[in-house]
Structure 1
């Protein structure tokens, strides 16, 4: 594990490289900002990622000649990039993404991730975003990590040996937080109607957005509900 010298970006990201960027609340914004300062020297980079909180500067139009994005999740900003021909959307279940990296169907050249500082055993934690990131780290040719003391330490499959990290950048920064949804009257009404269709004991899969939030809020009198979902929103916690 070596300190990252920002002058090395053009050497580390070879022409035609596929670069994975960690998602969720663990987007390594410090690494991204450092990388983009050398964007004029990149050739035909592809960036792949899932949904991430915070800005996605790599899809700005000024980078369209050197960086192309391939996302497994569409946001309004990414949708605009797809419409203008700067990005691609690959529809794929989250659970199937790791296999794309593991089998080589979508090989990862460089993984940019955010981790905790290593512990006394030399293990870093991927913290709040393990998801598909662990598979990217295990299968990438090169791993570059932003080490952030503010990243919460989680255990289990989130742990990776520090020796598996090729280069690191130390940067202390707070993690982004998802804004609490403001539910309007129309969405509340939809939530109440949808709740009438859900029986006690049902198993729910919950998506992103105000409408799923409104439905969950309308289920407070239901009993024995199960959750099988890729996300947990504030309404579920309540």
Structure 2
């Protein structure tokens, strides 16, 4: 059976991504799902995009769009710097594009344009950067920004975990819509956890690679996971998003 690997937020840490890929034995027929936030943080955001574009030529890859990716996409399209983005990693991303020519920037823009807001696989597993608020599912979401910004889904899953049985009328309807849900966006470091976390049927794979954590990947069938070194040790002269 072909495996599906899910990757957490990369935030410009190409060295961590390369290291992590080297630690996983991936065959050419297996699926790689990336949960977004490829840019903003460490110094190699543009290079991460190049790496992912090349990777998609060798494997079945699905790229979910994160909030940082939407900011970068807007900049590539309009050459307008969002002030909030600039302060939250955008500066390092802009610097990573200094030696990238217009043609390559346009290829990157098209790559961002093709990213998915979310993906549902053949086993009814949902892959989304942050979450959704509609009890009818992401396809009924009124505010599409929730796909890359929502934290209520994860907070609810943590709160309800092991407290209410799945067959209870009190069990959150959002969590019943899918077999499992895989997210990034909220670093597990916020809970003093350095590895992927589970709350009910929601798995959080963002282990803080953009800050002082590691980049993580999980096999959704076996739940075996792999991690890079602490990303900051791979960029000893940088601060990433640790500001």
Task: State the structure with more CA Rg.
Answer: 1
TM-score (norm 2): 0.33
Which structure is higher in helix share? 2
Compare relative contact order (CA 8 Å, sep 6+) and give the higher one, 1 or 2. 2
